Structure 1
Amino acid sequence: MRPAPAPSAPPPSLPAGPDDVIRTRGLTKRFRGGQLAVDGLDLTVPRGSVFGFLGPNGSGKTTTIRMLMGLIAPTSGTASVLGASMPQSVATVLPRVGALIEGPALYGFLTGRDNLDRFDAADPTADPRTRRQRVEAALERVGLSAAAGKKARAYSLGMKQRLGLASALLRPRELLVLDEPTNGLDPQGMREIRTLVREVAAEGTTVFLSSHLLDEIEQVCSHAAVMSRGRLVVQGTVAELAARAQGRLVVRTPDTAKAAEVLAAHRVAGPAVEDGRVSGELGALGEEVLPGLCAALVAAGVRVHGFGLERGTLEDAFVALTGEGFDVAG
């Protein structure tokens, strides 16, 4: 796909700060027919982060990535990647970026190895004398060395996804952009890709990872942004986002009914009983009330087998922020 031409009246340049690899302001994309896919996006991706771009399918993630990579022009707003405005600077920016967007585009009649040869040859900055070493290293890295001689059309969906990732890893890049990189992979393959993302990040590459899988973001990302219906809901570190969800007090006891009474009497919101556990929201009470609650339970004769605060997860935060459920398992 050819990069989209720049708009006739390009927006002003938007230089990123020294620690921003991606920065957008008011980035908007409206397709023909009036469909608003991305609505006024203000996004900041710190250098050196593993940044999770999180949202349900159809929330605008891929459209945003295509604008960042210069594949389509925004309707309005500005975007910079590696300090240069996009899509105006695709020729200077893209050689510094590895990307896998909307699944790999492969030549089915070529082997996996020959596909990577073609991709490497298309890079004007790649030294042809060391091409074979780069190709073999990329194949090894994604676990495709044994299948490198097979035609790509015979690859499974997961193998094609691995080959596409190998093409993005042919050379060290400042930024690696991955759009749903674990699509089509079995659980073992997903774990391997997560490990690979961590390794790439440890080498100094900023990773921008789009996903609709909450556990994927929690396991590998340092920062995240949540998209919903084309709009940015929130962004920050993964720990900060998870902390937005209130923790729940959980008491394990055989005396569940009595424990629920005591908690309710001490203004713990909505004590719920399930499988030998009583849980409730502290709300505005704060964590400082925990010692007193535990003492009150014991004083009331409740046999306390376990007592503690379960921290909120990214899923809890997403539901609290958007009021929507989320596709956790895929």
Structure 2
Amino acid sequence: MEPVNDAPPAVPAPGGDAVIATRGLSKRYRGGQLAVDGLDLTVPRGSVFGFLGPNGSGKTTTIRMLVGLIEPTFGVARVLGEQMPRAGRRVLPRVGALIEGPALYAFLSGRDNLARYDAADPTADPRTRSARVSAALDRVGLAAAAGKKARAYSLGMKQRLGLAAALLQPRELLVLDEPTNGLDPQGMREIRTLVRELAAEGTTVFLSSHLLDEIEQVCTHTAVMARGRLLTQGTVAELAGAARGRLVVTTPDTADAMRVLKEHGVSDLVVTDDRITGELHVAGPGGPLDLADLNAALVRADVRVRGFGTERASLEDAFVALTGEGFDVAG
């Protein structure tokens, strides 16, 4: 077993205009567990960046290293152009974060909890504290519950209060770990809207989520981790586009349609009543697969085609193709 203080060869420092950039970032816990293994991550300025991975993939460990809660075993992490955790005192006042749920004083009201958070910020002007707290509560929909003790808050309300704490000051970067945890559908929609507003105002948002639909709706870029390693990163459109689309044919003549589709290289065919779906490949046995030719082949075989088209691959399709597993809770 390697000692935890054994360092690998020197890793070049990440550069460019990325808000978050890591090179060879790794975390090995005592006992030998390698939670994050050689992570090279780039988060573009102005993006809404979704951080995805199955349970235990190393996402939360990565986030904790980025904000200086734990030190990497080796590798480099730069946030807002400065190395973490070394530059934490300069960087963290420009970063809002909600990680693994908010830490709250149960006996204090929501408003008083935020006042405590604000007072702990050395850059916060105490003369304008009350206005900042009120604005943050209003922005996350907690103005009416501001005087209620935190112990009486639901999980969703506590999550909103933690988000309000991250928004007390204007932030260049917002780091959110499962931001919609515990929220009802309306609350989730409101948080998605808020994230979009923050991005439009120039804040880069980095969020992890176990809700793939949420990532597709709100994120511009994404990265996928599994077993501590980065599998891919890029725009959401690029990642979904890398997964193969599916052909969908609606016909009462399913047996004949299946035969024709197989002859033309369509694989993994599934029949549900009069609907056939199959994996669409770039080329069939005779060369490039043209959808118009495929439709014509069905008609020539006297297949009655009631519907013909393709379904765009989803982010979930891409995720399963990359990891070989379904999606679980965040790790």
Structure 1 pair 26–15 and aligned structure 2 pair: CA distance change class (3 A): closer
SS of corresponding position for 1:129 = helix
Q: Which residue of 2 aligns with 1:47?
A: 45
The correspondence of residues 2-81 of structure 1 with structure 2, limited to 5 A, is: 14=13, 16-18=15-17, 20-81=18-79
Instruction: Measure, in 2, the Cα distance between the counterparts of 1:314 and 1:43.
Output: 19
Deviation digits for residues 248-271 of structure 1 (CA, Å, limit 9, x no counterpart): 111011221221111112222232
Amino acid at match of 1:300: A
Q: Which residue of 1 aligns with 2:302?
A: 301
Query: Which of residues 172, 180, 183 is equivalent to 1:182?
Result: 180
Q: Is the 8 A contact 1:30 1:37 kept in 2?
A: yes
Residue 213 (structure 1) shift: 1.5
Instruction: Measure, in 2, the Cα distance between the counterparts of 1:62 and 1:271.
Output: 38
Instruction: Measure, in 1, the Cα distance between the counterparts of 2:208 and 2:258.
Output: 42
Instruction: Measure, in 1, the Cα distance between the counterparts of 2:38 and 2:12.
Output: 17
Q: Which residue of 2 aligns with 1:210?
A: 208
Q: Which residue of 2 aligns with 1:4?
A: none
Structure 1: gaps spanning 5 or more residues: 1-6
Deviation digits for residues 27-56 of structure 1 (CA, Å, limit 9, x no counterpart): 000111111111110000000000000112
Q: Give the TM-score of the pair, scaled to structure 2.
A: 0.93
Residue 284 (structure 1) shift: 3.3
Residue 84 (structure 1) shift: 0.2
The farther-off stretch of 294-303 and 281-290 is 281-290
The farther-off stretch of 282-291 and 112-121 is 282-291
Amino acid at match of 1:220: V
Q: Which residue of 2 aligns with 1:135?
A: 133
Instruction: Measure, in 2, the Cα distance between the counterparts of 1:226 and 1:116.
Output: 33
Amino acid at match of 1:17: G
Amino acid at match of 2:240: A
Q: Which residue of 1 aligns with 2:228?
A: 230
Structure 1 pair 57–308 and aligned structure 2 pair: CA distance change class (3 A): same
Aligned alpha-carbon RMSD (Å): 1.9
Runs of 4+ in 1 over 2 A off after TM superposition: 11-16
The correspondence of residues 243-282 of structure 1 with structure 2, limited to 5 A, is: 243-282=241-280
Instruction: Measure, in 2, the Cα distance between the counterparts of 1:94 and 1:12.
Output: 24
Amino acid at match of 1:255: D
Instruction: Measure, in 1, the Cα distance between the counterparts of 2:322 and 2:169.
Output: 39
Q: Is the 8 A contact 2:55 2:329 kept in 1?
A: no
SS of corresponding position for 1:309 = strand
Instruction: Measure, in 1, the Cα distance between the counterparts of 2:278 and 2:89.
Output: 55
Instruction: Measure, in 1, the Cα distance between the counterparts of 2:273 and 2:224.
Output: 33
Deviation digits for residues 145-164 of structure 1 (CA, Å, limit 9, x no counterpart): 11100111111111100000
Q: Give the TM-score of the pair, scaled to structure 1.
A: 0.93
Instruction: Measure, in 2, the Cα distance between the counterparts of 1:57 and 1:190.
Output: 21
Q: Is the 8 A contact 1:215 1:328 kept in 2?
A: no
Q: Which residue of 2 aligns with 1:90?
A: 88
Residue 12 (structure 1) shift: 7.6
Q: Is the 8 A contact 2:25 2:74 kept in 1?
A: yes
Structure 2: gaps spanning 5 or more residues: none
Amino acid at match of 1:312: A
The farther-off stretch of 62-71 and 257-266 is 257-266
Instruction: Measure, in 1, the Cα distance between the counterparts of 2:12 and 2:107.
Output: 43
Instruction: Measure, in 1, the Cα distance between the counterparts of 2:318 and 2:45.
Output: 25
Same amino acid, percent of matched pairs: 77
Residue 328 (structure 1) shift: 8.5
How many pairs were matched up?
321
Deviation digits for residues 88-147 of structure 1 (CA, Å, limit 9, x no counterpart): 000000000000011101111110000111111111111112111111111011111111
Query: Which of residues 193, 196, 202 is equivalent to 1:195?
Result: 193
SS of corresponding position for 1:29 = strand
Structure 1 pair 13–81 and aligned structure 2 pair: CA distance change class (3 A): farther
Q: Is the 8 A contact 2:47 2:220 kept in 1?
A: yes
The farther-off stretch of 168-177 and 260-269 is 260-269
